[in-house]
Structure 1
Amino acid sequence: MAPYQYVPLDANKNQIRILSLLPGSHEDPIRISISQISFDPPERNDQETFLSDERFREIQDKLPETWSAYRTIEGRPIFGCEPDGQPVHISWQPPESASEGAFDEFMNIAEREEFEPAFEAVSYTWGALDTTLAIEVVDTLSPTTTAGTLDVGPNLFEIIHHLRLPEDARTLWIDAICINQQDLVERSKQIKNMRDIYAYARRVIVWLGPSSEDSTLALRTLEHVGKQIEFTICDTFMPAPDCTETQWWDYEERLPLASGALEAVLNLIQRPYFERLWVKQEIQFSSEASIMQCGDMAIRWYHMRRGLIRLPREMTALPRLNSVSSWTKIRIADRTAHRLKMGDIETLFDIAAECKCVDPRDRIFAILGLLPASLAQRIHPDYQSPVEQVYLQAFLTILDFTRRFSRIGCVGGKAGMRNRPSWVRDFTQSYIDNYWLQDGNLASGHSSSHTSFVAPNQLHMQGVYHGEITAVSSPLTGSATANYLAFCELVSVSLPNKTKNECLDIYTWVMTEGQLHERWPELVVMPPSGEAKAIVQQMCDGKEPDVPDVYREWFSETLMDQQQRGIIFVTSTGCIGCASPTVRPGDKVSIPLGSREPILLRPKTSDNAVQHHQVVGISYIHGLMEGQAILGPISVPWRMVIETITPVTIEFRNSQTGEMTREDPRLDPLPHDSRWVKIEKKDETRSPYAIQHYKHLDTGQVLTSDPRLLPEALRARGVNVETFILV
């Protein structure tokens, strides 16, 4: 038969295609029809499942004293009675004592409109396309008339076989069929519809692949665990209202699962589906009726996502989890289940870099639906534009939107693509394969970036210079003993006055990147520095470290991971840090305004003798991660801490008085004549940390940073703010 010829979509009607999978037995040839419909969903609303903070406080005030209101990860309202801080009663309905109609607004907020005609959207892995199989396309009005054939990959061919019903037609949306993949202009335009297609499908069918020996056990385990717990948008667990296991919500509780259950789950989440980039957007916007199907067995996505979030804690005991690769698979599955559609931008681009897609441009385009609407509308998908240009324009757009020089830019490491400025991140490389940092840093304080782009490849960046690299160690390995000996040798030569105890203390902070209880006081899963030092000392002595269960995940994800990458270095200012193995003596330490980490730069003299710099990458430098290079050290008794409320908040704690404040104690109060005032405003940039907004009373300008950290204000303090030319 002749190949099927697509009818162009009418852009004026914002058309999409849907297909009708005609009924048949397993042996019958696959037959479909393709039709075009107008697709006009409601205008996108990033706050679709949120009330304002003020309105939510009003909801809380209407509840009895021992009751609280929450929202599940999907935005569904849920109520809890917690007289002693422990959930006693969890309900989908407000308490009977509540006034009638008092919670109507809250109860209706997560409802979505139904779209007609109803269709199901399929989320799957394309798989290998080196061989294809033909399916027959028939005329929509005359099913006995053939319109041609379409070639599809073996994986999609198998999916269609499983989804076909014996007696009834099934209306589906499948990207490989409903978008003309040969038409680059159409593909670019249809990207804008992807989010809403999955959001307004009656349900999403996730195809995980054919069944295996333990896939049923894995699905049953995830389903059972998921039925016991609820998970809120504040990243907290609680018992499900209809649970049978009343303590499984407690993250510190070990779950009595069937033998082999965790191994089965680990095998399931290592399937290719979870590594695919496009599925992150597809499943995030799906309805609660959506299913995960493996062979002929299916469970609700609602239950599976809760199981995926709860079980990583249990998996720390599996012997197979000694490699970074295994933890990466667990992290990818865990992130797939979390609430990415309101997630911070940095995390979304980390996911884009670590997941798989066919076209490298998709590392930008595949997450557009997850980005803030005001940012996504500035990025225009174009499959005809060179990859390097797509990445450069995306970075400049994000930099202008967030005013943060963050790890969305170059994270350092491998050389990457040609024709790409060093300051633009290569999204074809997973950040896992390069040097990256854990969260919890504030190297430039609450400042914003001040940059300008000079075509074709220069970025002029304002920041502070803080010495240069004077000595580096050999690359770190999997041997803690060898790493520590290399560290001690480096320090003994470069900083001979450091005592043994000082060395161990600095080494612990550097190797854990500050992921310690002193910095994160609310997280019991992180040890205090004293206990962490004891674990590190045992490792350095070649002993099997005695790691309590509560710290096992921290140990695997932080300490074990860090010691297998990077190098240790010493700076001309006497600081010690860790960075990519590509770092070498002579590289400069810069603290760009708007950056949470120090950025290492390599001087490069241009033809006109103006010094340019290449970005080497980000770094962890002990003593510079809390704004010390700009504002000086934090005086005792103050300490910077991170509060894990939503959003995560960086605060300063007075150890003597217990006072907590977001105001940096190193900054003087705003002068009365400064004309800057604090205002309450929703953070549209989705910063990983809570942002205080400021407004200028005369100009109306609004800042997402502290005006006392503007370049001119810093220069008035005597801070030498320079301009670095990055190429």
Structure 2
Amino acid sequence: MGHVFNSSQDSIPIHDPFIRYVPPIRADDTPQPDNKVNFRKTKFVKITRGKIFGKIKFQYNYKPLKDDEIRLIELEKPSEDNKIRCKIHVKPLKEVRGKYEALSYHWGTKQGEIATNTIYVDDAISKFDDLVLQVIGKSKPKEFEVHDNLYNALTYLRSDKEPVILWIDAICINQRSDPLGKEEKEKQVARMADIYNSAYRVIVWLGPPEPKTDLAFKFIKRIVVLREFDKLLEDGNYSDEWVAFTDLMRYPWFSRRWVVQEIALARKATLICGKSDVSWNDFADAVALFVTTLDRIKTFFSDPAALLDVEALGAIQLVLWISNLIRKSENGDIQEHLVCLETLVCSLLFFTTGTAHDAIYSLLSLARDTSQKYFPDRSPPLERPKFNLKVDYSRHAIEVFMEFTRSCIETSRSLDIICRHWAPNVDGAPFPSWISKIADSSFGEPEDALQGRRNGDSFVGAPYRDSQKIYNASRGTITASDDFYFGPHEPIPLSPTMSSPTKEKASEYSLPIDGPFSGILNVKGFQIATIYNVSGRILRGMIDHTWLCHGGWDRSRRSRVPDKLWRTLVADRGPNGSNPTGWYRRACAQCLTDVAITDINGDFNVSYVQPSDQKPRSDILAQFLQMVRRIVYNRKFFLANPWLTNQLEPLYGLGPGRAEKEDIICILAGCTVPVILRKHMNEKNEIYYEMIGEAFVYGKMDGEAMAGLDHETVRTRFDWFTLR
């Protein structure tokens, strides 16, 4: 039994649960040394009231934490009345490393929803006065309301043998909306990387027990036994197990953006559902094997389209990303951060955030180019961080988004960020058109991702590890410091090469918001064409035969497929941005002449999925159709008049679903793909532009628009575009 004395007048032993605390045995555990932590000189802070999140009843009050302190709860053993009881302790984090478990779970509610489950929180007895108050009945456990999923977690995580020491964000961080609560939340959020990495283990709570979950957990332990794996793929009797495993990957926990940090920084992690558990390593290996053998696993599903867009599953994205984010030592210490913030924000789109700010804040500790990147117990490398964003929930989310965008442009010297779809929706807030929403990404909002593909993939791709750009429309030009700026300026006259704006007002266009940037981004570039004809949106992957003909296809002659058509269908690239393989043309020709894929009217169904009871078609066709689907979904074909008089052929390509006639196609300095802009004129007859989106323009993706022009000539051709 340990003793804690707060002053010379204290003379009785006080229970200290950390002295010999060893977390309960869970999946993937090995015996741990019985390390003692001496807290004799540690002071506890008494806490009497509190709040967890939103409009909730609070009877427990938080007192401020010191900069080096965190709160931990001591979850007591079940009592006869089965009420959940716990004590809250305040400790310097460095003194409790490895002596607690951190809980990762899905809140399961909307922000502001009232919690209705009561637990009882007692002050940790840290000094003589606390004990006296408890003995005479003046200090009683306080009611603390929690949401359903957390209540279930606490119920199942209790141990009959000893108390369990946990860090839980909803209880251990003051979530109140008053100034003290906001200040503490910002400080503690900035420390969450340290908190999770310092935990003995991260417990992933998936929910109460369910028959399918138990089946999936048992099956995972068989999947990772490689000598049995082929049998599981060949024996049709395991169809229920494969379905259960797939259903497990759809659990809400896998959709949270914060879990990326919580798992990436964990020294070890265990998934728990009811009383069943499985180690994170086993789960991750099972998911990786699932992805590798997906084509064989599909045969266990009665619906052949059930796993058509399986990459949208948060569980798969999480497993694929975790191994690429951070390099660790064998004992879990962080050695190197591998990915930049722009890549993280623009790639981890399948994960939700309770607060729009967290689309960025939740990733600061993981990125290699932020001041908050986490290195335990040592100083980070002596390098200048490119992003100096600070956690500040008092700022408007749109303002945070604009600062992030500005930092991306300044650090990468590229405008590609304005083409990437990364920003969560902010209710009631107007967006600058140069900040693109997640809703326009491949699978839309995270909560809609499981419904299947919504849009084509971004042409600019993600800047993963500074990889080579996919296209080079601006011919290697970079955004110099004088090629862009934020904020209003005097209207700039149109150059003779630019077409006149429409006089119609943008009644549906959101005006710029207030703030340091005023929602205005000024960039340099030049116009290459004006759209004069657009198709309808390519819904459910059905391409109207008219636009195949515009691409040069003559179905009556079944001639060779023109380069303009098949290269546009795949955006002139193969998987991962590589050059397209030669057999794409042959695959395209076969698809256009296959009556099951291209109907009697000549309309091309790129979403064709072969019924499971038919003889399999070529895997080559399936790969080609998948590539086309990733490009054309919900986009529009267009024809555009080039502004250069020496080019007679109209430009042919693909643009966003919002593209319309009279929109202009431009090359912007530092942007690797052409963009479509829409001109507007305000009440003062000042011209500004709305960013409609990125475009694929056949024959203009690799600097052809600047062919034969030297650097100085290119620069003099550039005009200013004011984007709002």
> TM-score, structure 2 length as denominator?
0.67
> What's the CA shift for 1:185?
2.2
SS of the aligned residue for 2:59 comes to coil
Structure 1, residues 582-637: CA drift from partner, whole Å, max 9, x if none? 100111212223323222111123455453211001122222333333447xxxxx
Q: Is the Cα contact below 8 Å between 1:468 and 1:588 reproduced in 2? A: yes
The answer for the alignment partner of 2:413 in structure 1 is: 403
In structure 2, C-alpha distance between the alignment counterparts of 1:399 and 1:474, rounded to whole Å? 33
The answer for the alignment partner of 2:289 in structure 1 is: 310
The answer for the alignment partner of 2:536 in structure 1 is: 474
Structure 1, residues 88-121: CA drift from partner, whole Å, max 9, x if none? xxxxxxxxxxxxxxxxxxxxxxxxxx96262111
The answer for the alignment partner of 2:265 in structure 1 is: 285
Instruction: Letter of the 2:211 partner, please give it.
Output: E
> What's the CA shift for 1:255?
6.9
Is 1:8 equivalent to 2:64 in the alignment?
A: yes
Q: Are the structure 2 counterparts of residues 135 and 337 from structure 1 closer, same or farther at C-alpha, using a change threshold of 3 Å?
A: farther
Is 1:458 equivalent to 2:503 in the alignment?
A: no
> What's the CA shift for 1:518?
11
> What's the CA shift for 1:354?
3.7
Which of 331, 346, 351 in structure 2 is aligned with 1:350?
Answer: 346
Is 1:599 equivalent to 2:675 in the alignment?
A: yes
In structure 1, C-alpha distance between the alignment counterparts of 2:122 and 2:317, rounded to whole Å? 41
> What's the CA shift for 1:338?
2.2
Is 1:426 equivalent to 2:437 in the alignment?
A: yes
The answer for the alignment partner of 2:498 in structure 1 is: none
The answer for the alignment partner of 1:200 in structure 2 is: 198
In structure 1, C-alpha distance between the alignment counterparts of 2:418 and 2:714, rounded to whole Å? 30
The answer for the alignment partner of 1:17 in structure 2 is: 71
Is 1:488 equivalent to 2:548 in the alignment?
A: yes
Is 1:298 equivalent to 2:311 in the alignment?
A: no
Q: Are the structure 2 counterparts of residues 323 and 619 from structure 1 closer, same or farther at C-alpha, using a change threshold of 3 Å?
A: farther
SS of the aligned residue for 1:384 comes to coil
Q: Are the structure 2 counterparts of residues 500 and 363 from structure 1 closer, same or farther at C-alpha, using a change threshold of 3 Å?
A: farther
Alignment of 1:333-372 (within 5 A): 333-339=316-322, 341=325, 342-343=338-339, 345-372=341-368
Structure 1, residues 693-724: CA drift from partner, whole Å, max 9, x if none? xxxxxxxxxxxxxxxxxxxx722568733332
SS of the aligned residue for 1:374 comes to coil
> What's the CA shift for 1:347?
4.5
Which of 106, 119, 144 in structure 2 is aligned with 1:135?
Answer: 119
Alignment of 1:216-615 (within 5 A): 216-226=214-224, 228=226, 244=227, 258-287=238-267, 289-316=268-295, 317=298, 318-320=301-303, 322=305, 327=310, 329-330=312-313, 333-339=316-322, 341=325, 342-343=338-339, 345-374=341-370, 378-407=388-417, 411=421, 418-427=429-438, 432-433=443-444, 436-437=457-458, 439=461, 440-450=470-480, 451-454=484-487, 455-478=517-540, 480=542, 483-488=543-548, 490=550, 505-516=563-574, 520=578, 528-535=584-591, 537-538=593-594, 539-541=597-599, 547-549=617-619, 552=622, 555-556=625-626, 558-573=627-642, 574-606=650-682, 609-615=685-691
In structure 2, C-alpha distance between the alignment counterparts of 1:355 and 1:520, rounded to whole Å? 27
In structure 2, C-alpha distance between the alignment counterparts of 1:421 and 1:199, rounded to whole Å? 37
Q: Is the Cα contact below 8 Å between 1:21 and 1:32 reproduced in 2? A: yes
Question: What is the alpha-carbon root mean square deviation over aligned residues?
Answer: 3.8
Q: Is the Cα contact below 8 Å between 2:419 and 2:693 reproduced in 1? A: no
In structure 1, C-alpha distance between the alignment counterparts of 2:522 and 2:577, rounded to whole Å? 33
The answer for the alignment partner of 1:185 in structure 2 is: 183
Q: Are the structure 2 counterparts of residues 726 and 282 from structure 1 closer, same or farther at C-alpha, using a change threshold of 3 Å?
A: same
> What's the CA shift for 1:165?
0.7
Structure 1, residues 460-502: CA drift from partner, whole Å, max 9, x if none? 212343212221001112263xx1414135557xx99x99757
Q: Are the structure 2 counterparts of residues 331 and 577 from structure 1 closer, same or farther at C-alpha, using a change threshold of 3 Å?
A: farther
In structure 1, C-alpha distance between the alignment counterparts of 2:390 and 2:187, rounded to whole Å? 9
Which stretch shifts more, 546-555 or 188-197? 546-555
Larger radius of gyration: 2
> What's the CA shift for 1:9?
1.3
Q: Are the structure 2 counterparts of residues 721 and 261 from structure 1 closer, same or farther at C-alpha, using a change threshold of 3 Å?
A: farther
In structure 2, C-alpha distance between the alignment counterparts of 1:312 and 1:26, rounded to whole Å? 47
In structure 1, C-alpha distance between the alignment counterparts of 2:584 and 2:439, rounded to whole Å? 37
In structure 2, C-alpha distance between the alignment counterparts of 1:127 and 1:615, rounded to whole Å? 36
SS of the aligned residue for 1:385 comes to coil
Q: Are the structure 2 counterparts of residues 616 and 491 from structure 1 closer, same or farther at C-alpha, using a change threshold of 3 Å?
A: same
SS of the aligned residue for 1:616 comes to strand
Q: Is the Cα contact below 8 Å between 1:413 and 1:580 reproduced in 2? A: no
Q: Are the structure 2 counterparts of residues 614 and 298 from structure 1 closer, same or farther at C-alpha, using a change threshold of 3 Å?
A: same
> What's the CA shift for 1:458?
1.8
> What's the CA shift for 1:124?
0.8
In structure 1, C-alpha distance between the alignment counterparts of 2:159 and 2:78, rounded to whole Å? 7
In structure 2, C-alpha distance between the alignment counterparts of 1:518 and 1:153, rounded to whole Å? 42
Is 1:715 equivalent to 2:712 in the alignment?
A: yes
Q: Are the structure 2 counterparts of residues 15 and 584 from structure 1 closer, same or farther at C-alpha, using a change threshold of 3 Å?
A: same
Q: Are the structure 2 counterparts of residues 519 and 301 from structure 1 closer, same or farther at C-alpha, using a change threshold of 3 Å?
A: closer
In structure 2, C-alpha distance between the alignment counterparts of 1:193 and 1:304, rounded to whole Å? 27
In structure 2, C-alpha distance between the alignment counterparts of 1:5 and 1:130, rounded to whole Å? 18
Q: Is the Cα contact below 8 Å between 1:547 and 1:555 reproduced in 2? A: no
Q: Are the structure 2 counterparts of residues 334 and 198 from structure 1 closer, same or farther at C-alpha, using a change threshold of 3 Å?
A: same
Give 5+ residue unaligned stretches, structure 1: 41-113, 229-243, 633-666, 668-712
In structure 1, C-alpha distance between the alignment counterparts of 2:262 and 2:527, rounded to whole Å? 44
Q: Are the structure 2 counterparts of residues 198 and 373 from structure 1 closer, same or farther at C-alpha, using a change threshold of 3 Å?
A: farther
Structure 1, residues 230-259: CA drift from partner, whole Å, max 9, x if none? xxxxxxxxxxxxxx46989xxxx9776833
SS of the aligned residue for 1:360 comes to coil
Instruction: Letter of the 2:436 partner, please give it.
Output: R
SS of the aligned residue for 1:122 comes to strand
SS of the aligned residue for 1:370 comes to coil
Instruction: Letter of the 1:273 partner, please give it.
Output: W
> TM-score, structure 1 length as denominator?
0.67
Q: Is the Cα contact below 8 Å between 2:78 and 2:160 reproduced in 1? A: yes
The answer for the alignment partner of 1:92 in structure 2 is: none
SS of the aligned residue for 2:437 comes to coil
Q: Is the Cα contact below 8 Å between 1:582 and 1:616 reproduced in 2? A: yes
Q: Are the structure 2 counterparts of residues 223 and 506 from structure 1 closer, same or farther at C-alpha, using a change threshold of 3 Å?
A: farther
Q: Is the Cα contact below 8 Å between 1:217 and 1:264 reproduced in 2? A: yes
SS of the aligned residue for 1:197 comes to helix
SS of the aligned residue for 1:422 comes to coil
SS of the aligned residue for 2:404 comes to helix
Q: Are the structure 2 counterparts of residues 531 and 133 from structure 1 closer, same or farther at C-alpha, using a change threshold of 3 Å?
A: same
Q: Is the Cα contact below 8 Å between 2:522 and 2:723 reproduced in 1? A: yes
Structure 1, residues 338-385: CA drift from partner, whole Å, max 9, x if none? 235334545422355442222222222222222224365611122222
Which stretch shifts more, 147-156 or 344-353? 344-353
Q: Are the structure 2 counterparts of residues 477 and 430 from structure 1 closer, same or farther at C-alpha, using a change threshold of 3 Å?
A: closer
Q: Are the structure 2 counterparts of residues 312 and 478 from structure 1 closer, same or farther at C-alpha, using a change threshold of 3 Å?
A: same
Instruction: Letter of the 2:117 partner, please give it.
Output: L
Aligned length: 546
